[in-house]
């Protein structure tokens, strides 16, 4: 049977394998397919009873947990759209996202209740864990009670073209923007994964990425589609390579998926030699360039697996891929390419005048196909810029520069705009600038990304302050931590009397990057 909606995968697997383990928490607690399906149905009926309906947005502010997986399916079963938000990020950013898409209800961990937006739209709150004394909790329902409450049948769960989830990424205007993904977008990607990775019910998938990061889509839905088990890696475990290496070996995971950064941390701090990870049959990585010296080393420690480089922005999910050779040659230094378009996608490389470029020339990568997103939530200008029509086909401009080679496929060549990747996360430098401009003692702010051989990029904030006096860097980082996720906090702050300008009186970023190189990156 071909699935129409992501919820079809769970329904089919729960019917085939009700007693198989679907979800395993880091703590060892599990949910079978039968239990997961029952919880998701009960939550859907509860939400429907409260009036949540097709097309409504429901926020999810939960750590990696069984309740979170049940919530994602429960929300989609009502016909609503889930909006996962980083529960470790700044409260203001969390509330901004939930308000932006006007969530109708929220499923929140008791520890993160300050994220509840005070908008009139959000009329129901389901709380996981013991609620504290938060005022807004007066109108809330404990998760356990919600799934024990007799609900109402779902009248209209919607169609395959309805939205399934909205993932927020850094926005160039300084505000996060919501990438709207429909069921058919996600299903086309999940089905492509099936054809290439051939999962079975015996597979044990890692789930390292948080739910607001699009890598989580493969972990959750490919595993559930095939009746496999998905091993949720908690926030604490994800930050501890020694324990994580032990976890991978002890649970005999078969499929690993993360950013290269995480694999590099495992390599450097995880004592990989002490753990038997021979159960791994697939290692998938995405989100950033993997320096070959580190990739080669990971492959030597984990030789049982086949390695794939997956490429794709949140807007398309994975759209090109490359299989890495089983033995990376010792003399290879150039990063591996992002490869060839997936079978469900079409690709096109155009120059600035929208002409197709020749092999070997640099151009912008455009993608079309059923996995390409519906648009950004409530952003007409950005939507107009994101797509172009060409011979009746809607193409998404990834903004990524690539070069085509007939042997290796696409090679990533950077970007022309101000978006950078750090540990797989997209960062619009303008969003950092916007946050710093709210600091009362800063006059001018410019943020630049400088290449770094190991970390990918170093983010440098050039600032000028009232009276030209340097501020405390500790104070500035603390200020940023209240407004930006940890991965967006600048690595370095450099104080300037005033920022250099171009002849048109714009900030001269090139001069700033030059200054940083000359003062030394150390």
Residues in touch with other proteins (CB under 8 A): 236, 239-243, 261, 264-265, 268-269, 423, 452, 454-455, 470, 472-475, 477-478, 480-481, 486-487, 489, 491-495, 522
239 token code pair = 């930050």
E strand or H helix that includes residue 432: helix 429-437
Residue 430: closest CA among 452, 416, 446: 446
Which residues make beta-bridge pairs with 394? 389
Residue 495 CB, nearest approach to other proteins (Å): 8
What is the rounded CA–CA span in Å between residue 167 and residue 312? 14
Residue 274 CB, nearest approach to other proteins (Å): 13
User: Distance from CA of residue 154 to its chain's centroid?
Assistant: 30
Residue 329 CB, nearest approach to other proteins (Å): 23
Task: Please identify, using beta-carbon distances, which residue of 469 and 498 lies nearer to other proteins.
Answer: 469
Residue with tokens 């580190």: 294
Are 63 and 109 contacting, i.e. CB atoms less than 8 angstroms apart?
yes
Residue 261 CB, nearest approach to other proteins (Å): 8
Residue 406 burial class via C-beta count within 10 angstroms: exposed 0-12, middle 13-18, buried 19 and up: exposed
What is the rounded CA–CA span in Å between residue 395 and residue 440? 43
The secondary structure of residue 506, as a DSSP letter, is S
Are 358 and 348 contacting, i.e. CB atoms less than 8 angstroms apart?
no
Task: Please identify, using beta-carbon distances, which residue of 387 and 487 lies nearer to other proteins.
Answer: 487
H helices of 223-328, where? Answer: 223-225, 235-238, 241-250, 260-269, 292-301
Residue 54: closest CA among 189, 196, 158, 141: 158
The C-alpha R_g of the chain, in whole angstroms, comes to 23
Are 177 and 168 contacting, i.e. CB atoms less than 8 angstroms apart?
yes
Residue 133 CB, nearest approach to other proteins (Å): 21
């Amino acid at each position: 049977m071909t699935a129409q909606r992501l919820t079809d995968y769970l329904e089919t697997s729960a019917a085939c394998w009700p007693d198989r383990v679907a979800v395993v928490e880091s703590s060892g607690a599990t949910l079978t397919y039968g239990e997961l399906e029952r919880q998701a149905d009960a939550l859907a009926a509860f939400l429907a009873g409260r009036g949540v309906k097709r097309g409504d947005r429901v926020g999810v502010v939960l750590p990696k947990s069984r309740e979170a997986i049940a919530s994602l399916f429960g929300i989609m079963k009502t016909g609503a759209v889930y909006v996962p938000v980083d529960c470790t990020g700044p409260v203001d950013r969390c509330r901004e996202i939930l308000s932006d898409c006007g969530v109708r209800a929220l499923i929140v961990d008791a520890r993160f209740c300050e994220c509840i937006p005070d908008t009139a739209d959000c009329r129901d709150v389901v709380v996981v864990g013991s609620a504290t004394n938060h005022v807004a909790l007066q109108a809330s329902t404990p998760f356990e009670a919600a799934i024990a409450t007799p609900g109402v049948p779902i009248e209209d769960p919607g169609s395959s073209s309805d939205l399934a989830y909205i993932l927020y990424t850094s926005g160039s205007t300084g505000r996060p923007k919501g990438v709207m993904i429909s069921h058919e977008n996600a299903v086309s990607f999940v089905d492509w994964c099936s054809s290439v990775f051939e999962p079975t019910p015996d597979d044990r998938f890692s789930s390292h990425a948080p739910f607001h990061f699009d890598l989580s889509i493969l972990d959750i839905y490919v595993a559930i589609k095939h009746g496999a088990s998905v091993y949720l890696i908690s926030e604490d475990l994800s930050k501890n390579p020694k324990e994580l290496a032990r976890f991978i070996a002890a649970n005999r995971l078969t499929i690993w998926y993360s950013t290269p950064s995480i694999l590099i941390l495992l390599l450097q701090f995880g004592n990989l030699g002490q753990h038997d990870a021979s159960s791994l049959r697939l290692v998938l990585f995405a989100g950033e360039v993997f320096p070959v010296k580190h990739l080669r080393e990971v492959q030597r420690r984990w030789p049982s697996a086949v390695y794939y480089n997956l490429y794709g922005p949140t807007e398309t999910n994975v759209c090109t891929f490359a299989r890495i050779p089983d033995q990376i040659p010792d003399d290879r230094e150039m990063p591996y390419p992002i490869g060839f378009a997936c079978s469900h996608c079409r690709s096109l490389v155009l120059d600035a005048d929208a002409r197709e470029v020749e092999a070997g020339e640099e151009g912008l990568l455009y993608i079309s196909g059923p996995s390409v997103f519906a648009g950004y939530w409530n952003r007409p200008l950005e939507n107009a810029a994101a797509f172009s029509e060409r011979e009746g086909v809607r193409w998404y401009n990834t903004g990524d520069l690539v070069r085509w080679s007939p042997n290796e496929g696409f090679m990533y060549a950077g970007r022309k705009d101000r978006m950078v990747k750090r540990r797989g996360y997209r960062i619009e430098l303008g969003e950092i600038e916007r946050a710093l401009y709210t600091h009362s003692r800063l006059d001018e702010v410019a943020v630049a990304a400088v290449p770094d051989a190991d970390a990918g990029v170093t983010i440098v904030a050039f600032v000028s302050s009232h009276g030209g006096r340097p501020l405390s860097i500790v104070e500035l980082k603390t200020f940023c931590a209240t407004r930006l996720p940890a991965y967006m906090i600048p690595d370095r702050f450099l104080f300037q009397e005033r920022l250099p300008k171009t002849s048109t009186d714009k900030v001269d970023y090139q001069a700033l990057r030059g200054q940083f190189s000359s003062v030394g990156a150390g």
